[in-house]
């Protein structure tokens, strides 16, 4: 029997495998977006907002920068054994006008990446333990 | 122009991987700085410590830790934490005490003992800590962020692997004769380019190591200094700015930038604002600087700093480097000490060490790495979580 899939971080993204979204918040007063969600005070110094609405962030963006890590990071990173290099991407979201990080989806050759290319959000397993598969958001070059 | 304070003495414990208690490095640096100033510990009225968070208690209360080690004297105390910028914040605290007239002479000290390998977040299950989460969810080490900026330089400005390697080659030459540098070995471009890839495009020899070390400065009022010397070196500015909203550049340890969807983007980006605030405070500009000590956490990041501190326009740093302007003997040598490239980073000591180097340069005491006719210099540094740091030192 396959293990249940759980988010590696509760409340940061939807678990809709076909079209996942990161979950941010937006100040109801100045309309600034925040990721991860902000719930207490608006961080815009010109805004006294204290109320926020949860908003799914755009699941498409453009690649701002990226890097492939060839050394195993320290804990709390959970590494496969043996360690496998992985790529981290910084992606610019047009509507929100912000850059959000995420790992690059498994199996994408980083040599095919270019700053400015279109990417979309997907879900993948980050690590597995005895109880569950823990899922995280990743970025993947958008299907043309 | 801000009021000035004098730097009467500087001292360092050599950087390395000594594996001793950080207090030992700090005390050695203090004793050297005091001797350099011609003062005794008991003359110090205020001690300002730059904190380390890695060495545990009493590392969290650095000022008092050093006061105790030097011998309780009743001196007043403060401790500052601003990650890599802690040293500048501690100096600023001491400066404010002097300028407010609460004391005449103060000692500023920072020291650290570092673990091997990557700097890691505090242990435990810490789901409310972005520093913990970025490792767990992304594997976003510090070099990951340095590599984002390096990749941007390549894709936006056409920088090459070779440009980045040349920064390392330059700094390795600069640091050769520096007795406080940890790495004193000349490297070639080929050696840099054949070292192991860490975070593409950055290689092992291009990424700052973690080091042990300690640095200290003695600051005083100008009146106090004039009784001892006719030519004091002065602190013309200390900038400890935070970012302005929205900060649109991704910064350690964040998952995302601020959103510029509804707030106007500031006229000046955070990293540009760090030295800009110091220049404004000093009433000086980049053209007045004889040299600079910048935070080369990576080879590529040193090129970003050339632009951030106004030595050239955005996109021109590679040319400045390749023209030799930032090499010893050039128009404005950058990191004549050898920089982090030759030191590695001892976090709470590093911003103080940058100032020590400026003082030795302005006094003409930087044997084997002297910038001819140095009159003024600037440091630049950025600490995790939004701590800017820039100090301008000049001949009084």
Could you report the per-residue pLDDT of B148-177, keeping only the tens digit for each?
999 999 999 999 999 999 999 999 999 999
Mean pLDDT in residue range B36-42? 98
pLDDT confidence of residue B55: 65
Residue B53 has pLDDT above 90, yes or no: no
pLDDT confidence of residue B59: 66
- Residue B382, H or E segment: strand B376-383
Q: Nearest residue of B to residue A7 by CA position?
A: B137
pLDDT confidence of residue B15: 98
Phi-psi region of B285 (alpha: psi -120 to 50; beta: other; left: phi over 0): beta
Residue A75 has pLDDT above 80, yes or no: yes
Strands of chain A, DSSP E = 5-7, 23-27, 33-34, 52-56, 60-69, 86-93, 98-104, 118-128, 133-141
Residue B61 has pLDDT above 90, yes or no: no
pLDDT tens-digit profile of B278-305?
A: 999 999 999 999 999 999 999 999 999 9
Phi-psi region of A83 (alpha: psi -120 to 50; beta: other; left: phi over 0): beta
- With contacts defined as CB-CB under 8 Å, which chain B residues touch A64? 148, 152, 250
Interchain pair B260, A97: CB under 8 A? yes
CB atoms within 10 A of CB A143: 6
Interchain pair A64, B198: CB under 8 A? no
Residue B125: band (very low, low, confident or very high) from pLDDT cuts 50, 70, 90: confident
**B 12-51 residues with CB < 8 A to A:** none
Interchain pair A30, B197: CB under 8 A? no
Closest partner CB to B151 (pick from A34, A35, A115): A115
Closest partner CB to B141 (pick from A73, A116, A136): A73
CA–CA distance, B368 with A88 (Å, rounded to integer): 41
- With contacts defined as CB-CB under 8 Å, which chain A residues touch B246? 32, 44
CB atoms within 10 A of CB B46: 21
pLDDT confidence of residue B76: 98
CA–CA distance, B146 with B252 (Å, rounded to integer): 9
- With contacts defined as CB-CB under 8 Å, which chain B residues touch A34? 256, 259
Residue B362: band (very low, low, confident or very high) from pLDDT cuts 50, 70, 90: very high
- With contacts defined as CB-CB under 8 Å, which chain B residues touch A90? 148, 250
pLDDT tens-digit profile of B175-205?
A: 999 999 999 999 999 999 999 999 999 999 9
- With contacts defined as CB-CB under 8 Å, which chain B residues touch A69? 139, 141, 143-144, 198-200
**A 34-73 residues with CB < 8 A to B:** 34-36, 43-47, 64-71, 73
Show the domains of chain B with their CATH numbers: 5-117+213-233 (3.40.47.10), 143-208+236-395 (3.40.47.10)
Of all residues in chain B, the percent with pLDDT exceeding 70 is 97
CA–CA distance, B88 with B124 (Å, rounded to integer): 30
pLDDT tens-digit profile of B306-325?
A: 999 999 999 999 999 999 99
CA distance to partner chain A, nearest, from residue B378 (Å): 30
Contact between B38 and B94 (Cβ < 8 Å) = no
Interchain pair B137, A73: CB under 8 A? no
- With contacts defined as CB-CB under 8 Å, which chain A residues touch B121? 76
pLDDT confidence of residue A114: 93
pLDDT confidence of residue B1: 59
């Amino acid at each position: 029997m396959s293990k249940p899939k759980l988010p590696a971080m509760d409340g940061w993204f939807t678990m809709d495998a076909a079209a996942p979204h990161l979950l941010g918040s937006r100040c109801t007063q100045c309309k600034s977006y925040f990721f991860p969600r902000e719930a207490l005070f608006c961080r815009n110094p010109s805004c006294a907002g204290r109320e926020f609405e949860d908003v799914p962030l755009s699941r498409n963006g453009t690649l701002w920068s990226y890097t492939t890590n060839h050394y195993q990071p320290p804990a709390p990173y959970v590494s496969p054994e043996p360690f496998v290099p992985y790529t981290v991407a910084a992606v610019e979201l047009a509507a929100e006008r912000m850059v959000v990080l995420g790992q690059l989806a498994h199996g994408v050759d980083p040599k095919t990446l270019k700053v400015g290319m279109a990417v979309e959000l997907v879900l993948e397993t980050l690590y597995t333990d005895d109880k569950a598969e823990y899922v995280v958001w990743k970025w993947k070059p958008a299907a043309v | 122009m801000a009021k000035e304070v004098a730097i009467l003495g500087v001292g360092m414990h050599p950087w390395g991987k000594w594996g001793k208690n950080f207090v030992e490095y700090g005390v050695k640096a203090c004793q050297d700085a005091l001797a350099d100033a011609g003062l005794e510990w008991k003359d110090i009225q205020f001690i300002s410590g730059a904190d380390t968070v890695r060495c545990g208690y009493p590392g969290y209360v650095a000022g008092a830790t050093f006061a105790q080690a030097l011998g309780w004297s009743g001196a007043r105390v403060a401790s500052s934490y601003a990650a890599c910028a802690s040293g500048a914040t501690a100096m600023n605290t001491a400066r404010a005490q002097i300028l407010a007239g609460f004391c005449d002479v103060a000692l500023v000290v920072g020291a650290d003992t570092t673990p091997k390998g990557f700097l890691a977040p505090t242990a435990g299950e810490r789901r409310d800590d972005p520093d913990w989460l970025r490792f767990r969810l992304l594997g976003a080490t510090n070099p990951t962020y340095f590599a984002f900026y390096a990749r941007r330089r390549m894709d936006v400005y056409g920088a090459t692997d070779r440009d980045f390697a040349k920064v390392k080659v330059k700094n390795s030459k600069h640091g050769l004769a520096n007795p406080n540098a940890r790495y004193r070995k000349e490297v070639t471009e080929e050696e840099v380019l054949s070292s192991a890839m860490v975070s593409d495009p950055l290689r092992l020899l291009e990424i700052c190591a973690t080091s042990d070390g300690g640095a200290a400065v003695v600051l005083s009022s100008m009146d106090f200094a004039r009784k001892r010397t006719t030519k004091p070196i002065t602190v013309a500015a200390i900038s400890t700015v935070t970012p302005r909203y929205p900060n649109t550049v991704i910064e350690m340890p964040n998952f995302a930038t601020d959103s510029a969807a509804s707030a106007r983007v500031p006229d000046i980006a955070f990293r540009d604002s760090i030295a800009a605030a110091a220049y404004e405070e000093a009433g000086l500009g980049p053209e007045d600087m004889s040299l600079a000590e910048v935070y080369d956490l990576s080879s590529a990041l040193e090129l970003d700093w050339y632009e951030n501190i106004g030595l050239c326009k955005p996109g021109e740093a590679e040319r400045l480097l390749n023209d030799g302007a930032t090499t010893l003997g050039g128009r404005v040598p950058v990191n004549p000490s050898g920089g982090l490239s030759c030191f590695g980073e001892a976090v709470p000591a590093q911003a103080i060490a940058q100032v020590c180097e400026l003082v030795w340069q302005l006094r003409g005491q930087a044997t084997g790495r002297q910038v001819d006719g140095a009159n003024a210099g600037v440091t630049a540094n950025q600490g995790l979580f939004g701590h800017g740091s820039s100090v301008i030192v000049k001949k009084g």
